[in-house]
Structure 1
Amino acid sequence: MLTANGTNLAAVFARAKDGDTIKVVGTVKDMVLQNRSFTKAVTIDATQATFTDTLTIKNVSKVNFLGGTYGSRTQEMRTGRAVGLYNSSDVNFSRVFFVGTGRGTGVGITTAGSRGISVSAGNFQNLRLGIGITASTDVRISSSRFIGMTSDGINIADSHRVTATANRCTNGAPSAGAHPDCIQLWSILGNPRQSDISLTNNYVNGPTQGLTSFNASAGGGLRITMIGNTIATSFPQGIACGNCDNSIFTNNTLTTLPGARWRTSMNIDGNNNIIENNTVGDRPPLGAQTLALLGSLDGADISNAISLFEEPLPDFALEDLALLASMLPLDSLTPDAMTFGSTLAAVPEPTTWAQLVFGFILVGAAVRTRRSGRSVVA
């Protein structure tokens, strides 16, 4: 077993051999682990470590992270992320603990241009976003808890073959202007539609939306599966999937929490979908205070709010796509032809970065829609 701390972790990782375990102790600040590919997975045992700033993982294959605390309750992280994972494969996180300040900022994990990533039994608290997945394939998130998120639990953008099962989103604390969702999906105009995404047996409770897929004009989704989820919320979209084809929505239970302004509903459109055995509960009676707040809104706006709470591609995805553009050809980021370079280019100069991000912002703006005429399942 190798031992590392906040000053030598990168050096220890650089000399690790197949199958080694690295025991990390103490406080680790800003750290980069990169350019290692193992035949037998290396384990980083961080059960006695705290990563207080960004851990960046680039061009790495076959590494398992066990335990550890990532992030800070008192200060913002340099990049806004506790862990940034890029151009890597077969990296797993188990029993990890991510914390934020609760001030409407901070992301637990973002992964971009990667495959074979998993997060199991994770605990994410008081962050803006727990996990952000961009341009990645074969990702699995399971048995993780998202508590006190100020926006979303999991975001999946421009990705394929992603599974999220038995996760819990509870006690949401939406910040001003947030459009909260437990799990939200996006396609990107001009790229292959998001596909083969399975959301099963997740539990959602509180002031948030449930499981949503927007940006229909950018392509919607193919083979999206939402089965056996339990959703009790006070926001309008319990389950939403715009322009989704060959998808399955069965055995989901939706409930509107007492005093909610909107009814929690299921809104799906597309072709060749299976929509069966779902339960969508009635909205409970509204109290006098809630009725006063509703003012002049008509019944349709109150009960369904179909066009509300959709948002463009999130900032983290735009930034990660821009970073990937500096690492490898974008045409390699396809669901069946993901490539992983042996080396990484340098981060672009500020002017180049600005041009990249601006281009992706334009894409995000172009695909944002206010849809009408969807099917409403009750």
Structure 2
Amino acid sequence: MAEQKLLDLISLKLNSGMSEEDVRTSLDGKGWSAGDINGALAIYKIQKSPSPSFKRYERIPSLEASASSTTTRIFQFVIIIVLLVSAPGAYGLVTSIFIPAIKNEPVVVKDSLKGYDLLRDVPSLIPVAPIGTKKVAVVKDTDNVVSSNPVQADPSQSIKNEPKITSTGAVAAAKPTVIFKSDQSSVVVGSRILLSWKAANATSCSGNQFETNDRTESSIHVRLHGSTQFTITCVGSGGSVSESTTVATVPATTSPTPTPTPEPTPIPTPTPVPEPTPTPTPSPTPSPTPSPTPTPAPSYPTAATTSAGIWEKVKASHDGDTVLVAPGAYSTLSMKNFKFTGSGVTIKSADPSQPAVISSIDIQYSSGLKFTDMTFLALGGGRAVNVINSSNIQFQRVDIHGDGTRNGSASLFRDSSNISLKDSHVHNLGFGVGHLTVSSLNISNNTIDHIQSDGISGGGSSNVTVNGNVISSFFPLSGDHPDGIQFYGGDSNVSITNNTIYRGSGSGIPMQGIFLERVTGVTITGNAMVGTLYNGISVSEGSNTLIQDNFIQGYTDYPARIIVRGASANATVRDNTTQLISNFEDKGPNPGYVETNNTIINAVSPGSTSDINAWLSSHGRSSVAVSVTNHSFALSDIWTNIAQRSSKTLTASVLNAIDSLLHLIQDLRS
């Protein structure tokens, strides 16, 4: 999946007009090796190569040397030996491609990612023409012969005397197989079981009575309320396969209440005849003090109590309805093909002081849903919120965080429209809010902190508003490229306003402020930042950019600046308060560049916030409350050390407890 993510990212960047060299530069330090990047670029070339008339399974021509060239044959075997010695993965390349090719046997490339695994560590082989002195041709199911290598194709020369390689048909794909099992065959009603599966020769798997998220290998806990048959179906190019398992439930046993043994009735003692007593003067009888009525525990008779219950209530809803969710923890919630118009349907916690906790939510092909006063978790490095091919989806007053290891990501909004995230808290994650090709996206008034890399990032989106967010306290690892706000290409009509970005507490490692590449029509106004890396605001290869009334101040360890570069067109930089402004002509002049009425200030010592707070006050905004120096004691350093050393052995609950303890100590110290 990591290779597919890299391939998707490179496709987006290249399709937006970015050069290969710029792609390598932008991905440097993002967690992929140079071999990964070169290999993915090669796969992109293969996928984009102009061969529309070929079938899906194309034949690689054999590497036929001239009959009289013994030297060439020896050279081919030398190449094979060098590959086997020097390159990981070359053995598969040699045995699957070169040896059959030398023997004039057909080779079928079934899967581009498999080819990428073979080629990733020897990228220099990709553009090299096939070995041999003769021109090599590929034949479709007709007799027309065309060159398989555009470098060798020569329309002026006849190849009619060359041997043809005729199609023998694609190799039949193997049928999928799947191992599907439950850790228990019989449990007490209300208990949980663990379902696990592992499929081969499959591209996706779907489950009946449980959710697979299209994964071909995984496991999931399911709580049983009755005997249930679970079925998994896995599909691949060779067909499909289904397996089932049934888990029975038995009622919980209760011990009968023993019948108490009656005590014998005592014989009453005769009552002595009392002496007559004088009649006392009666005193008024006080009114008894009533016993206080205990406060009953809250109940939510109409609220959903399971993920399946939420799904059923939403399914039965109409426009304008509200679905209440009782306090508690819920498994993954899948919302697919729900279509509401008008005001839509609201899903919210029945008690906002005890929000429902959803392990993750997957929304696809749906519209008209709003989630409020809820918590979403990213467990085990996964994603808390996933929205794909949907419209009119809103999240408000939600809490999105990880499981204590600062892995995973908050959200991905993709191929959708009219999506919003407002008034929410995103924290303790590897990555924050992500978006790809979204129309009308609004990310406003959120707090984003304790992130490893990138608070808000994405590309290919239009009509985007990023307003009033407070972003701070990043914890990047070695090789990360952390950005408060990043757009990496293909975006248009973007408004980034009134955001506050500062280094904050923790290890004192800064992040960049606002980092934009190839964005058309962007307004950057009213933003304030202190203690960032060099690029407070950076615009590269953009057009029609306004940078106005922003505050950028660096600490003495990293001066901060506004920089316009990459031949950006029609950029205006005015009325800003900053440490440095750079009109950098690294790719030639920035046509239409205007710079006027800016105020230059000095850097301040790490931890100083007096200047930024004065600027925020003058703009009617809240001040920055947290400030530490690079050399101060940081609880985050303790956490990072524990997580890196112990995450393979400690359970998530233990890590959560440690994280809570560290935050409690932080609160006491402040």
Q: TM-score normalized by structure 2?
A: 0.39
Partner residue of 1:194?
A: 491
Partner residue of 2:549?
A: 251
User: How far 1:284 sits from its partner (Å)?
Assistant: 4.2
- What do residues 150-207 of structure 1 show as CA deviations (whole Å, max 9, x unaligned)? 11111121111100001010122223322111110011xxxxx310011001000002
Which residue, 315, 339, 346 being the options, matches 1:43?
A: 346
- What do residues 268-287 of structure 1 show as CA deviations (whole Å, max 9, x unaligned)? 1311121111121233479x
Q: Distance in 2 between matches of 1:157 and 1:50?
A: 32
Q: Which amino acid aligns with 1:62?
A: G
Question: Counterparts of 1:218-233 in structure 2 under 5 Å?
Answer: 220-233=518-531
User: Does the 8 Å CA contact 1:28/1:49 hold for their aligned counterparts?
Assistant: no
Decide which structure has greater helix share.
Answer: 2
Which residue, 444, 448, 456 being the options, matches 1:142?
A: 444
Q: Distance in 2 between matches of 1:61 and 1:51?
A: 22
Q: Which amino acid aligns with 1:51?
A: V
Q: Secondary structure of 1:126's match? A: strand
User: Does the 8 Å CA contact 2:555/2:605 hold for their aligned counterparts?
Assistant: no
User: Does the 8 Å CA contact 1:103/1:175 hold for their aligned counterparts?
Assistant: no
Partner residue of 1:292?
A: none
Partner residue of 2:430?
A: 128
Q: Distance in 2 between matches of 1:94 and 1:154?
A: 17
Partner residue of 1:183?
A: 485
Q: Distance in 1 between matches of 2:357 and 2:455?
A: 21
Which residue, 267, 282, 304 being the options, matches 1:4?
A: 304
Partner residue of 2:371?
A: 65
Q: Distance in 2 between matches of 1:32 and 1:275?
A: 46
Q: Which amino acid aligns with 2:399?
A: F
The answer as to 2:511 corresponding to 1:213 is: no
Question: Counterparts of 1:271-290 in structure 2 under 5 Å?
Answer: 271-281=569-579, 282-284=602-604
Partner residue of 2:263?
A: none
Deviates more, 1:266-275 or 1:46-55: 46-55
User: How far 1:52 sits from its partner (Å)?
Assistant: 4.5
User: Does the 8 Å CA contact 1:5/1:27 hold for their aligned counterparts?
Assistant: no
Which residue, 349, 362, 370 being the options, matches 1:56?
A: 362
User: How far 1:253 sits from its partner (Å)?
Assistant: 0.7
Partner residue of 1:204?
A: 501
Q: Secondary structure of 1:43's match? A: strand
Partner residue of 1:14?
A: 315
Q: Distance in 2 between matches of 1:204 and 1:96?
A: 21
Q: Secondary structure of 1:105's match? A: coil
Q: Secondary structure of 1:13's match? A: helix
Q: Distance in 1 between matches of 2:366 and 2:456?
A: 23
Partner residue of 1:264?
A: 560
Partner residue of 1:110?
A: 412
Bigger CA radius of gyration: 2
User: Does the 8 Å CA contact 2:463/2:492 hold for their aligned counterparts?
Assistant: yes
Partner residue of 2:537?
A: 239
Q: Which amino acid aligns with 1:255?
A: Q
Q: Distance in 2 between matches of 1:87 and 1:208?
A: 32
Q: Which amino acid aligns with 2:348?
A: D
Q: Distance in 2 between matches of 1:119 and 1:147?
A: 15
Q: Which amino acid aligns with 1:11?
A: E
Partner residue of 1:361?
A: none
- What is the RMSD computed on CA atoms of the aligned residues? 1.9
User: Does the 8 Å CA contact 2:304/2:310 hold for their aligned counterparts?
Assistant: yes
Partner residue of 1:345?
A: none
Q: Distance in 2 between matches of 1:271 and 1:178?
A: 29
Which residue, 380, 392, 395 being the options, matches 1:76?
A: 380
User: How far 1:256 sits from its partner (Å)?
Assistant: 0.6
Q: Distance in 2 between matches of 1:42 and 1:2?
A: 16
Mark the runs of 5 or more structure 2 residues left unpaired by the alignment.
1-300, 504-509, 580-601, 607-670
Q: Distance in 1 between matches of 2:418 and 2:448?
A: 22
Question: Counterparts of 1:310-329 in structure 2 under 5 Å?
Answer: none
Q: Which amino acid aligns with 2:408?
A: G
- Using a 3 Å threshold, how does the CA distance of structure 1 residues 235 and 104 change in structure 2: closer, same or farther? farther
Q: Distance in 1 between matches of 2:370 and 2:413?
A: 15
Q: Distance in 2 between matches of 1:19 and 1:164?
A: 28
